[in-house]
Structure 1
Amino acid sequence: MRSLVFITLFPVLLVLFASCSKNDALPDPYPTDSLGKINRWTLDSMRRFYYWNEQIPAKPDHSLSPELFFKSLLSSSDRFSHISGPNVPSATNSYFAFGFHYALLQVPGYNNYIGVVTFVNINGAADRAGLKRGSYFMKVNGRQIDAQDLNEINRQLNEKGTITLTAAAFNNNTWEPGADIQLSPGYSRENPVYYTRVFTKGSIKTGYLYYTSFDESFDASLLDAFRKFREAGVSELVLDLRYNAGGSVASSAKLAALVTHKLNAGEVYAIYEGNRNEGRRTRTLQAVLNTSASAAGRLYSDLQPNQLQLSRVFVLTTRATVSSAELVVNNLKPFLNLVQIGEATAGKDEAGFAITDLRSPRQVDWTLQPIVYKLFNKNGQGGYSAGIAPQYAISETSTLPLGAIGDGNDVLTAKALEIIYGPGFTGTPTDLRIAPPHRRMQVKPVYESATEQAARSAPVMIPQ
């Protein structure tokens, strides 16, 4: 999968005209003008590979621009197919512009909205400016955050350009302004194995992994994290995927196989179901691993020494858990008890591959990323376009303050630890602190940048 920015999987680029059947092709004469060539190529490609190809209009309007023509071919059920080309600016968001995710909240006793930082990119602009998860702000570029200006505020926060945040603090039941914080664009690529720790009570040791994306470049770090868990003797695992933006399908398979030894090399990891041309494709774990560009864990035998012997796994999710992260949640279920905590996931139960024109000389400079497959696990379970619902529904942004990632003050982590250890587990001073109930403030989220990013990202991208 390729999400907005984290990962690009090495997709195979396809020469489409040679592969289209006579039934798929349009009658001659073939267009000779530039726009006609682009749109004809797009139509041929979509008729061949698009999951909903039978819903493509019989006579689409070839006079439309390439973007509008592509959109005119899409099914009403399609939320994620994408086209990119010359002079089309890439979408941006606050995380890759300034290095932070945020939520805008309706809070008691305040007429406007309060912003809260939900996640910070290590060494990004926000991190360098001192922002942390749980930091508050009440103005953007001197403008109060209210319902009328909500769209404009979000535009400024999600587009590259210098911005100024006015910090906020809650003192004596009042929201007070703080210092102005100026941010210039700045994002730093980070290891997605963001944070690990082990909690202990009695003989029960619980591993915790915060994992931000499936980036094959860091698969060795993923294996190392599980090596440490295994050496520590963990018998429970909390897998935090709340803002995981997806990425490599092969890396998702590696993670799944590290979580459970029951997923062996010959077991079915994923089933891809396409249109009548693509059919139904069953992929074993090793077949998926073979597509990895990273040698770390490409062989099942390399994963085995670090596999955990678990009977269940706790997975933390939000609406920003998307694509390959959802694939892990759905495709682990046949192999062990998966306890999901948080919110329903984004709902991308679909996959595709990038399509470009490789003719020489190249005639079309556009790239298609259409939905080609629906995704299913070993038992044929899929159909989660509305998201994968948790057993324990909790919104992390419905109360304040936000706890630190992997800390007992965080409501999602605290719920997993409560199920494992029982109520009142506090750990050690360096591990957990569970906030007393009276300290928490009920709030209502009106916008979450990580959720918006997930909704706009491309589908799971599968190497062919």
Structure 2
Amino acid sequence: MKLLKTLLILLFSLVIVSCSEKDDTPKEIEVQDFVWKGLNAYYLWQDLVPDLSDRRFGNDQELYSYLSGYDNPANLFYSLLYMPNEYPKDPNRTYSWIVDDYIALERAFEGTRETTGMKLEGVDFADGSGGYYVYVYDVVKGSDADTKGVTRGMIITEVNGTTLTRANVNTLFSANSFTIHLADYNGGNPTTNGTTITLTRSLVTENPVKVTNVITQGSNTIGYLMYNQFADEFDGNLNAAFANFKSSNITDLIIDLRYNGGGSVQTATYLGSMVTGQFTGELFSKQVWNHKVMAVTDPNLLVNNFTNRILNKDRNGNIVLDETINSLNLNTVYFIVSDDSASASELVINSLKPYIDVKLVGIQTYGKHVGSITLYDSDNFRRTGPNLKSHTWAMQPIVLEIQNKNGENAPEGFIPEVIMDEDPGNLGVLGDPTEPLLERTIQYITTGAKRIPFSRKTTQFSPSWNSNMILPDYNNMYVELK
């Protein structure tokens, strides 16, 4: 709450138009006015965008005239982003985004989305012919795909009878209902086998605690967790998984983040505290906001510390989860990672590194060390703030860079000691000790061996498409000011 009050003082002192004057904003540019003022106050790179400067407009009318030049609030929003920092990885995306339906955005943060349940990766044919296919790497439990028998490892070469290409893959899989045509792998040059499945999107809630196992390997008792999103709605499930590891007296821990694009910084802090336990109260990570926020904020309010308790509240301040964290007090942890491991996944890796031995298996992580908040069109930019407007536009701008206790992060991602990518011709069953990446990590634990003959990533998988790219919260990391 102290941070919220500090930021509100900042907003009221620096935004051109005061709250008492905000009601005079022309109705036709109401959302545009919200966009400009929110970015002016919070955007991490505000000082590098000339049109967001505090001195850009001399009075209200100059601002309104400028905003009137944008009929679509989204066009205004994206015109005000600092592009060199917004999309260093992918010129077709930005880290900040705006939505016209914040209900869907809030659901996504809770793990609830409109989906068929398939998670897909795109790959070029191995023979260099220009052919393109996708494979199913995961299926959401309870989804239409799950119900109709779609499984990990299935190969798809056509949708609705249309051959897949890099150009049409997003469009074909974005429909509410479609028919997939399955194929045999055939050494990376799939051939259609005549099987089809028709799938329909529905609202599905995914438990990100995908798989938990305890594996005995000689004298090692290894806990395995596949964790797919840092969603605070499931913090209790995550803590329960660690209770099982604790009661099983595991000697080693593998956390599989290969499909985890991020989520809540608070949940990331909880996970780090579950792995350890011996550092309660010490610095897990620290946030760097724009110069205006930093100038008026106590640095102690911008840190996340290791904790021994989960204390989650809803947006109205009501406690929804209050329980002791099940900590393992480990000095070493193993992570399975990929180029889909981003944001909060990388935060956990980065924040644990100064304290314990962190070992990685997989391929280089995505590299995203900045985070966002959700801004709503109310007097204080809060969902529960005074005078919340009737429209459902909301913004998710980047507002902070996050660092570990040594002031470090990894903008280019983390490179594993053991380099190994998935092979669509041999994916295995997630959580099974013979699944290739898990098997290799177990070998790393029991033998210390790091060498592997080659990485398939360089021969087949670059660049690739992932169906999660179309999600509103793709590779997001966020904090909540409750």
TM-score normalized by structure 1?
0.80
Q: Where do residues 301-340 of structure 1 align in structure 2 (5 Å cutoff)?
A: 302-303=324-325, 306-340=326-360
Q: Which residue matches 1:401? A: 426
Q: Where do residues 48-447 of structure 1 align in structure 2 (5 Å cutoff)?
A: 48-58=41-51, 59=56, 61-62=66-67, 63-64=69-70, 65-76=72-83, 77-78=85-86, 79-85=94-100, 96-108=114-126, 111=129, 112-146=131-165, 150-157=166-173, 159-170=174-185, 175-186=191-202, 188-264=204-280, 266-279=281-294, 280=299, 281-286=302-307, 289-290=310-311, 293=314, 298=322, 302-303=324-325, 306-359=326-379, 361-362=387-388, 365=391, 366-382=393-409, 384-397=410-423, 400-422=425-447, 443-444=460-461, 446-447=463-464
Residues in 2 aligned to 1:336 and 1:391: alpha-carbon distance in whole angstroms: 16
Q: How many residues are aligned here?
A: 428
Q: Which residue matches 1:5? A: none
**Structure with the larger RCO, 1 or 2 (CA within 8 Å, 6+ apart):** 1
Residues in 1 aligned to 2:339 and 2:229: alpha-carbon distance in whole angstroms: 15
Structure 1 ranges of 4+ moved more than 6 A? 12-18, 26-31, 86-92, 171-174, 294-297
Please state how far the C-alpha of 1:296 moved relative to its aligned partner: 8.4
Q: What is the identity percentage for the equivalent residue pairs of Structure 1 and Structure 2?
A: 25
Residues in 2 aligned to 1:184 and 1:460: alpha-carbon distance in whole angstroms: 29
Q: Which amino acid aligns with 1:392?
A: V
Indicate the SS of the match to 1:400: coil
Change (3 A) 1:16 1:210: closer
Indicate the SS of the match to 2:245: helix
Residues in 2 aligned to 1:171 and 1:47: alpha-carbon distance in whole angstroms: 54
Residues in 2 aligned to 1:161 and 1:74: alpha-carbon distance in whole angstroms: 31
Indicate the SS of the match to 1:151: coil
Q: Which deviations, in whole Å up to 9, do the C-alpha atoms of 1:6-48 show, x marking residues without a partner?
A: xxxxxx9999987535554269998742344433332222222
Task: Give 2:16's match in structure 1, choosing from 16, 21, 25.
Answer: 25
Q: Which amino acid aligns with 1:134?
A: G
Residues in 2 aligned to 1:121 and 1:220: alpha-carbon distance in whole angstroms: 19
**Partners of 1:317 and 1:341 within 8 A in 2:** yes
Indicate the SS of the match to 1:385: coil
Residues in 1 aligned to 2:473 and 2:182: alpha-carbon distance in whole angstroms: 28
Indicate the SS of the match to 1:165: strand
Residues in 1 aligned to 2:73 and 2:416: alpha-carbon distance in whole angstroms: 40
Q: Which runs of 5+ in 1 are unaligned?
A: 1-11, 425-435
Indicate the SS of the match to 1:68: helix
Please state how far the C-alpha of 1:423 moved relative to its aligned partner: 9.2
Please state how far the C-alpha of 1:177 moved relative to its aligned partner: 1.7
Change (3 A) 1:17 1:235: closer
Indicate the SS of the match to 1:309: coil
Change (3 A) 1:114 1:43: closer
Change (3 A) 1:20 1:262: same
**Partners of 2:14 and 2:41 within 8 A in 1:** no
Change (3 A) 1:269 1:292: farther
Quick check: which one's helix share is greater?
2
Change (3 A) 1:342 1:178: same
Change (3 A) 1:317 1:277: same
Q: Which deviations, in whole Å up to 9, do the C-alpha atoms of 1:164-192 show, x marking residues without a partner?
A: 11111246997342311111113532322
Change (3 A) 1:408 1:44: same
Q: Which deviations, in whole Å up to 9, do the C-alpha atoms of 1:132-174 show, x marking residues without a partner?
A: 111112211111224xxx32232111x2422111111246997
Please state how far the C-alpha of 1:363 moved relative to its aligned partner: 5.1
**Partners of 1:209 and 1:239 within 8 A in 2:** yes
Change (3 A) 1:17 1:418: closer
**Partners of 2:181 and 2:192 within 8 A in 1:** no
Residues in 1 aligned to 2:256 and 2:365: alpha-carbon distance in whole angstroms: 13
TM-score normalized by structure 2?
0.77
**Partners of 2:263 and 2:476 within 8 A in 1:** no
Q: Which amino acid aligns with 1:210?
A: M
**Partners of 2:352 and 2:358 within 8 A in 1:** yes
Indicate the SS of the match to 1:255: helix
Residues in 1 aligned to 2:114 and 2:407: alpha-carbon distance in whole angstroms: 36
Q: Which deviations, in whole Å up to 9, do the C-alpha atoms of 1:29-84 show, x marking residues without a partner?
A: 98742344433332222222111111122458421131111112111212311222
